[in-house]
Structures are given as structure tokens and as C-alpha cells.
Amino acid sequence: MIHLLDCKVLSNDEVAPGHRRLVLDGKAIAEDTCAGQFCMLESSPGLQPFLRRPMSIERFGGDSFSVLYKIVGEGTRLLGRIQPGDTVNVQGPLGNGFSIPKEFKRYILVGGGIGIAPLPGLAQALIRETGTPPEVILAARSRDILLCQEDFTRMNCPVFLVTDDGSAGMHGFASNALEARKPDKYTLVYTCGPMIMMGAVHRICMENGSRCQASLEANMACGDGVCMGCVVETTLQEEFRRMVRVCHEGPVFDSRDIRWNTGTPAHD
């Protein structure tokens, strides 16, 4: 069920340079969330910025939930100033999260930068459903912004680090690290991160006969499937499915359905 709630801020701490975790009191949202769903946050009670900000729900359960965010624009800058005890209006949980088909032998999570946010929750769900901690590839530009590493090690997930500058783990991109893990046709890959990274992850999966679920990001106005603003182009033939809404048909898609070389959504 979708809720519209004023949530009390429990904490809003920096987790890496320019990155924060906002923990909110909101039992109804925490209870109804599945891994991979998102929420829409008001970054300011006024008219500026006008639109809510879509954010992956990171941790959820009990009475609270959290979002991880990177400060990039006006909305996230305002969110960064929010203090414990303040309230934030939240709409959620929204969209379709990850699905966990049982026929695979290996599950590999590939998160890039802030895109790691929905993956700890997914790892937890995979352990519950399959009994085995999934392999995790954690990618970032450099060592200081590799997020959530401790969440995965606590769940006994094998974690493979990869950085663009080689400051931690493998020197290269997420797709290089995935290739090194030799995914096969019994492997399901889950990915969330920059479009260019997910496109490369998709390509490696196709080359190796693996399946891939990708969680997309887009600028959104409503988050409810109404404004038609957050669409991406698909490879599907039917006229009315050539464009799908990230908020409503997604944010998680079978990577084969997405047209990866065009229509890269802008990040805000």
C-alpha cells in the first residue's frame, strides 16, 4: 500500500564525502516496502524546489526506513540541512521492486556509487529466499565513496571492490569486475547505478547468457505513473510499450527490455 506521511527525522548523517543517510520514522512505509522500491521526498515545505525527489528506500523494517543520497543539486542540498526532529513529507513505497526467481544458481549484485542504495535490502531478501548470501560487486569512482560495504560483510556476502582510480580493489569499472566473476546462464545479476554502468553490465550478461534486473533512475514529477515524465525507451514492439515509466512499470526492469544506447535519463 502507498502512504503519504509526515515522517520525523531520526538522523541525517554524512556517510561519505557529499553523501548522507536520512533515517525517517515511518512504520507504515517501513512495513510495506519491498527491496527495490522507492519513495518521493519533499526536500522543502515551500515551492522551491517544486517537485519531490525520488529516492531508493535503503534500509527498512521495524518503525523506520532510510534513504541514501548524494548532494548534487538544490533539492539534495536542502535535504542535507535537515536536522533530527524535523519532519519530511514522504510518499511511498512506490514502483515495482526486484523479483527473486528461484531457478538460478548464482546471484550477483552490482552497485555503482549511490546506486548501491537498494542492494543491501535485496541481499537480505535473497538470503531469506535462497538461503545463500549473494556475491556483491561494489563499484565507485574512488575508495572514499564505496558505500554500504559493512552491510554486506555483516550478511556474509562475498564483496568485490572496484574503483575507477584503483584506490581500492580492482582498478576498472563494475562491468570489468562482473566479467572477472564469470557469470553464466545460471546467474542472475541485479544492478543499480549510472545508466552507462548498467548498460555495460547488461552487455556482459548478454555475452555470458546471464539474466539481469536493472533498477533505473530518472527525473520524475509524480512518482505515481501519472505525469509520463520519467519514461525510458524499450526494445518492445507494441506501440504503447515503446516508452515505459520508470516509476510505474519500473524502477526495476529486465535489462533486455531497455534500449541502452539511447534516452539516457539525466541525473539530478
Partner 1 sequence: MTEPSLHINLGGLAMKNPVTVASGTFGYGSEYGHYFDVSLLGAVTVKSLSLKPRPGNRPPRISETPAGMLNAIGLQNVGIDVYLKEKLPYLREKNCTIIANIYGYSPEEYAELAQRLEKEGGADALEANLSCPNVHDAKNTCGPALVAQSPQRVKEYTETIRAATSLPLYIKLSPNVADIREPALAAQEGGADAVALINTLLGMNIDVETRKPCLSNIVGGLSGPAIRPVAVKMVWDAARVLNIPVLGMGGIYTADDAIQFLLAGATAVAVGCASFRRPDAALQVIRGMRDYCIRHGIEDIQKLTGALRLQ
For partner 1, the binding residues (CB under 8 A) are 1-2, 4, 42, 47-52, 91, 218-222, 224-233, 239-240, 242-243, 262-263, 265-266, 268
Write down the least CB distance from residue 114 to partner 1, Å: 19
Among residues 26 and 134, whose Cβ is nearest to partner 1?
26
Q: Which is nearer to partner 1, 172 or 265 (CB)?
A: 265
In whole angstroms, the minimum distance from the beta carbon of 253 to partner 1 comes to: 14
Cell of 92: 511511498
| Cβ-based nearer residue to partner 1, 171 or 242 | 242
Per DSSP, 49 falls in state: S
Q: In three state form, how does the secondary structure of 75-94 look?
A: HHHHHHCCCCCCEEEEEEEE
Nearest to 56 by CA among 98, 110, 100: 98
Strands of the 170-171 sheet, one edge to the other:
170-171, 159-163, 135-140, 106-112, 187-192, 211-215, 252-254
- Helix residue ranges per DSSP H, 132-194: 149-154, 174-180
- In angstroms, give the least distance from the CB of 164 to partner 1: 20
If the CB atoms of residues 1 and 85 are measured against partner 1, the closer one turns out to be 1
Residue 109 or residue 230: which is nearer to partner 1 going by CB? 230
Query: Is there a contact between 155 and 148 (Cβ–Cβ < 8 Å)?
Result: no
Q: Which of 18, 42, 217 is nearest to 117 (CA)?
A: 217
Residue 231 CB, nearest approach to partner 1 (Å): 5
